[in-house]
Amino acid sequence: MSTSTQSPVRVAEDPRGPIRPQRRLPRYAALGLYLAGIALGAALSALTGFSIALTVIYGVILGTLAVYVGARAVEGRRKATDRLVTALVTTAFAIAMVPLVSLVYTVLDKGLARFDAQFFTNSMFRVVGEGGGAYHAILGTVIITAVTAVISVPIGLLTAIYLVEYGSGRLKRAITFFVDVMTGIPSIVAGLFAFALFTLLFGNDVRLGLMGAAALSVLMIPVVVRSCEEVLKLVPNELREASYALGVPKWRTIVKVVLPTAIAGLGTGITLAVARVIGETAPLLITVGLITGTNLNPFDGRMATLPVFAYYQLTQPGTATQAFLDRAWTAALVLIILVMVLNVVARLISRLFAPKTGR
């Protein structure tokens, strides 16, 4: 809460006389007032039967008020408003941290119960109670995500190249606009699209890993296009000109100069796009379904995937309820770990492969 970073403003000689030294709250007074408010909140909450949530709520409100009133008395209205906003804005950030911390803690707490070797080496084939694992689902997720990437990356990258290097006029504007719009398609609608498409092609009741990949591609392609486009725009035009001036055709210039220069950003963007779709559940639920055994062929029949596995373990527990719940939470934990690893990898890529510029 301490906002004592402003230095006193120096102004030129003023006809109204010399600048009076500002009346300011001492550096730790604001913090002290805030803590006093929180203590009061704790007391208030103790009156109605102590609870942590109420303590925090009362405390933050009273602490903010205390700072405002204190500042108002010493520093005046404008300064007090400034401090009030500072407190509010900081509180907003703190509020956002609550679900993040709580979520990560909960998933770790509940997910570690089955975070064992068996979980990673066994499928659910003929498992009705305890034991079993998500081996089949993890492999399914990896395979379907890989197929999705194989479909999405070339299309997305080529489209980004078109937009940056070739595109002009109406078509470029239309593609840019609709790619943006596509980033907002609900994932369940993407799933319905893949379902409708494959139903028309192969008849009813078809369920394939490929269907899931098609649905995820609808979600991933626009993300790839946007991030690759941003990165390609950053490649200096001078490099393209240098290449043209050496008598290199445009397409070779793009493939051998532009793309290598942008490779770090492209890798980062594509990795983040993968992270975005790897946790998608809804489209897979209606296109790929779930099986208990291991199916590694995305062109034949249902497959298990980690998010769908987690969902069914949680919502349709069998007789040994706790075993199902444990597996569900461990699956959620593995999913979060996968996403976080991809995020870290993305950052590493941008750090390691960035071209060394000496300028």
Closest by CA to 75, choosing from 18, 20, 112, 130, is: 20
Spatial separation of the C-alpha atoms in residues 252 and 257, rounded to whole Å? 8
Cβ neighbors of 266 (< 8 A, separation 6 or more) are 157, 227, 228, 231, 232, 259
Q: Between 123 and 187, name the residue whose CB sits nearer to another protein.
A: 187
State the minimum distance, in angstroms, from the CB of residue 242 to another protein.
5
**Which ranges of the chain does DSSP label H, i.e. alpha helix?**
29-47, 52-75, 77-111, 117-121, 135-161, 169-182, 187-202, 209-234, 237-245, 250-253, 259-278, 282-287, 306-315, 321-352
Separation of alpha carbons 184 and 301, rounded Å: 29
Which two structure tokens, joined as six digits, stand for 236? 């200096």
Q: Which is nearer to another protein, 60 or 190 (CB)?
A: 190
CB nearer to another protein: give 104 or 146. 104
CB of 59 to another protein, least distance (A): 17
Distance CA 152, CA 228 (A): 12
Of 72 and 172, CB closest to another protein: 172
Nearer of residues 85 and 121 to another protein, judged by Cβ:
85
For residue 259, the minimal CB distance to another protein (Å) is 10
Rounded to the nearest whole angstrom, what is the least distance from the CB of residue 85 to another protein in the complex? 4
Q: How far is the CB of 103 from another protein (least distance, A)?
A: 5
